[in-house]
Copies of this chain bind each other. A is one copy, B any other.
Amino acid sequence: MTLYKIDEVATACNLTKRTLRYYEEIGLVSPQRSEGGTRLYSQTDIDRLKKIINARDVLGFSLQELQHYVKVTEMLNDQREQYRNTTDEEERRQQLIEMNKTLDQQLHMVDEKLSRIYAFKADAELLRQRIQEGLAKLN
């Protein structure tokens, strides 16, 4: 498994090194460290970062809100490991139900956001129409 140092990750994700350190500080990523303390990011870390960035940019989630989202994907990534470690089926079921709930909430938020964006879009299109009518009259 290849590992990347902070500068590669920064350019790959279009973030600054400072931002990456900050994201670690608030618990959004947890890259491993080398013997000497240098951060080493896995491809999984990078993928997670890209998703975070997308959610931050496009959904306007705060970094605090994103920590919740991170936990869910984290748990899903650890799924197999948990499978082996957690003998307790009931506990496992509870976790899945919890995650399902979180996802439902997120999907609900996304749907509401979509409909509000559509409203905005319709509004803008109406304005554009009025403008084009205005242009037509000038001929």
Residues of A whose CB lies within 8 Å of any CB of B are 51, 54-55, 57-60, 72-73, 76, 79, 89, 92-93, 96-97, 99-100, 103-104, 106-107, 110-111, 113-114, 116-121, 123-125, 127-128, 130-132, 134-135, 138
Q: Considering residues A51, A58, A92, A97, which has the most beta carbons from chain B within 10 angstroms of its beta carbon? A: A58
Q: How many chain copies does the complex carry?
A: 2
Chain B residues in 8 Å Cβ range of A73: 127
Q: List 10 interface pairs A-B (beta carbons < 8 Å), by A numbering.
A: A54-B119, A57-B116, A59-B60, A72-B127, A76-B127, A93-B138, A96-B134, A100-B132, A110-B121, A110-B124
Q: Say whether chain A's binding surface is mostly helix, strand, loop, or mixed.
A: helix
Whole-angstrom CA separation of A42 from B117 in the bound complex: 26
Chain B residues in 8 Å Cβ range of A79: 130, 134
Chain B residues in 8 Å Cβ range of A135: 93, 96-97, 100
Whole-angstrom CA separation of A76 from B76 in the bound complex: 50
- Tell whether, in the assembled complex, residue B99 and residue A110 are in contact, meaning their CB atoms are under 8 Å apart: no
> 10 closest A-B pairs (Cβ-Cβ)?
A60-B60, A58-B116, A103-B128, A100-B131, A110-B121, A96-B135, A96-B134, A93-B138, A96-B131, A99-B131
